[in-house]
């Protein structure tokens, strides 16, 4: 045997055997050393994939919500058209198309930067001139821009209803521009843009003064009250429609031409609000997010239902008839009211918010019409201005975390009151100045003949019904 291993063949066998054993041992040792590293790499890759999937799901949810809010535009158009007269329908539909079109372009070019620029510092952000690179919130900026654009368009289109049937079309386009690039973005900068009303950092004004920041989850004040207060001063500067008030200043009803399409519009708005409120969570991927959006869906729906029921009961008691038009606006009143605190109140709180706003809306419509003598054909200033204000205030009372009625003290309530009042004053003053300047220089209102015969033919050269 020894002689064999001394031969060339034997030496070769020994060499090969040693090589195989060495390679095997080295492979085992390498595998043991590499296993933790490989496992770590796999874990990191899996975590990255999960995170990426979460961002993708949140993006899809945000864009889906934006689609639902966009679908509110035809809802507003149908409500406004149904509550007004046949001869002005084309004009109303045209306005609802153009305020979204113009608002989209201007908010992209200027308004987005004014609202979200400067990190919330100062009175106003910096115009972005179409550049979106300044903003990053973890979601695609283009998608977030679209989501904010549909909210801006909502604030602008609210004004259309209050000033319907007697406004020059080209002057409507002028004040839509002002709302899209100035009034809404500035108050939005103070709040959603990270400004002073929602700045909770140590030493900030709201934290030092109230120990709480202003809370408006989806825009009872930021969107709806802004639109409602601008609508109120716009209707006041414009003056009432011909025939609305008698010589002794008594209000006379001017019925809308089609409550069927108005009712359809309210159903569309109710549906779209399921994007407006739950979509403001901007996320749906995690357990906390899916619970949150489900909660907001529920509170939104309960408030809408309560607003419709209690506005009907109030009208029935007050006017001896269950009014369809007031019930329709009652549903919207409940939706507007709950928008601030839909994430913060429990289901019973949502019902209270909807009921209170539905009741208040009925009295607000009468007060604005008969006491202030302001002609608002669709009740926009009551539904959006008044109910947006009170819905914001009620959040300070009924929020389960920090609300006055839940032992949270007065801090949140006073923060809500401050935000609602300050933003209301901003919208009223800025709106009044804009409308007054436009009226003095160009004239807001069409001539008597055009108003009596209808804006459709004179302003657009066509009618909706032939």
Tell which residue, 221, 160, 152, has the closest CA to residue 180.
152
Tell which residue, 341, 113, 386, 334, has the closest CA to residue 227.
386
Average pLDDT for residues 25-47, to the nearest whole number? 53
Query: CA-CA distance, 109 to 252, in Å (whole number)?
Result: 44
Token output for 126: 């910096």
Taking the alpha carbons at both ends of the chain, their separation in whole angstroms is: 115
Across the strands, what pairs with 245? 251
Across the strands, what pairs with 167? 445
Residues 6+ apart with CB under 8 A from 239: 166, 375, 445
pLDDT digits (tens, 9 = 90+) for 152-201: 999 999 999 999 999 999 999 999 999 999 999 999 999 999 999 999 99
Determine the number of helices (DSSP H) and then strands (DSSP E) in the chain.
19, 0
More confident residue, 22 or 453: 453
Plot region of 373 (φ>0 → left; ψ -120 to 50 → alpha; else → beta): left
Q: Provide the H-helix boundaries in 87-168.
A: 89-106, 112-116, 141-162
> Tokens 């109120």 label which residue?
232
Side-chain-facing half-sphere of 264: CA atoms under 13 Å = 8
pLDDT digits (tens, 9 = 90+) for 48-57: 777 788 899 9
Q: What pLDDT does residue 30 have? A: 45
Query: CA-CA distance, 168 to 158, in Å (whole number)?
Result: 17
Quick one: pLDDT band at residue 420, thresholds 50, 70, 90?
A: very high
Sign of the four-CA dihedral 339, 340, 342, 343: positive
Burial category of 203 from C-beta neighbours within 10 Å (exposed 0-12, middle 13-18, buried 19 and up): exposed
The angle formed by the CA atoms of residues 389, 355 and 226, to the nearest 5 degrees, is: 20
Q: Is the pLDDT of residue 388 over 70?
A: yes
List the chain domain ranges: 46-460
pTM of the model: 0.90
Tell which residue, 387, 225, 249, 237, has the closest CA to residue 310.
387
Q: Is the pLDDT of residue 96 over 60?
A: yes
Query: CA-CA distance, 318 to 330, in Å (whole number)?
Result: 15
Q: Is the pLDDT of residue 5 over 90?
A: no
Average pLDDT for residues 237-245, to the nearest whole number? 96
The length of the chain, given as a count of residues? 466
CATH architecture of 46-460: Orthogonal Bundle (1.10)
H or E element in which residue 67 lies: helix 8-70
């Amino acid at each position: 045997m020894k002689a064999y291993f001394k031969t060339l063949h034997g030496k070769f066998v020994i060499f090969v055997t040693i090589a195989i054993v060495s390679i095997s041992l080295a492979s085992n040792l390498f595998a043991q050393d590499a296993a933790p590293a490989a496992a770590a790499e796999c874990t990191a890759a899996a975590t990255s994939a999960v995170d990426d999937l979460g961002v993708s799901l949140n993006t899809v949810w945000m864009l889906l919500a934006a689609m639902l809010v966009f679908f509110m535009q035809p809802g507003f158009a149908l409500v406004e058209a149904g509550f007004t007269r046949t001869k002005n329908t084309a004009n109303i539909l045209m306005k609802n198309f153009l305020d979204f079109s113009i608002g989209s372009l201007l908010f992209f070019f200027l308004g987005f930067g004014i609202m979200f620029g400067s990190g919330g510092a100062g009175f106003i952000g910096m115009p972005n001139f179409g550049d979106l690179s300044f903003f990053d919130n973890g979601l695609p900026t283009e998608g977030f821009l679209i989501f904010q654009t549909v909210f801006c368009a909502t604030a602008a289109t609210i004004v259309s209803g209050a000033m319907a049937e007697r406004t020059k079309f080209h002057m409507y386009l002028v004040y839509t521009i002002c709302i899209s690039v100035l009034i809404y973005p500035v108050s939005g900068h103070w709040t959603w843009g990270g400004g002073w009303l929602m700045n909770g950092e140590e030493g900030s004004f709201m934290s030092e003064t109230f120990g709480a920041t202003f809370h408006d989850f989806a825009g009872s004040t930021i969107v709806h009250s802004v639109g409602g207060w601008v609508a109120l001063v716009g209707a006041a500067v414009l003056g009432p429609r011909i025939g609305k008030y008698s010589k002794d200043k008594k209000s006379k009803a001017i019925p809308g031409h089609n409550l069927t399409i108005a009712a359809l519009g309210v159903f569309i708005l109710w549906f779209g609000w399921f994007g407006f409120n739950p979509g403001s969570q901007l996320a749906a991927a995690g357990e906390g997010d899916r619970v949150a959006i489900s909660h907001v869906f529920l509170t939104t729906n309960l408030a809408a239902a309560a607003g419709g029921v209690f506005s009907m009961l109030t009208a029935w008691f007050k006017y001896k008839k269950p009014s369809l038009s007031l019930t329709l606006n009652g549903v919207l009143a409940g939706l507007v009211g709950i928008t601030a605190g839909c994430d913060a109140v429990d289901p019973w709180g949502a019902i209270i918010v909807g009921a209170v706003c539905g009741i208040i809306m009925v009295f607000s419509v009468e007060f604005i019409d008969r006491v202030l003598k302001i002609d608002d054909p669709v009740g926009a200033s009551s539904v959006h201005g008044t109910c947006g204000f009170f819905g914001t205030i009620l959040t300070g009372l009924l929020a389960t975390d920090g609300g006055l009625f839940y032992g949270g003290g007065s801090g949140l309530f006073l923060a809500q009151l401050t935000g609602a009042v300050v933003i209301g004053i901003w919208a009223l003053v800025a709106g009044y100045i804009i409308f007054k300047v436009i009226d003095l220089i160009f004239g807001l209102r069409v001539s008597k003949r055009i108003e009596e015969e209808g804006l459709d033919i004179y302003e657009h050269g066509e009618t909706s019904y032939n």
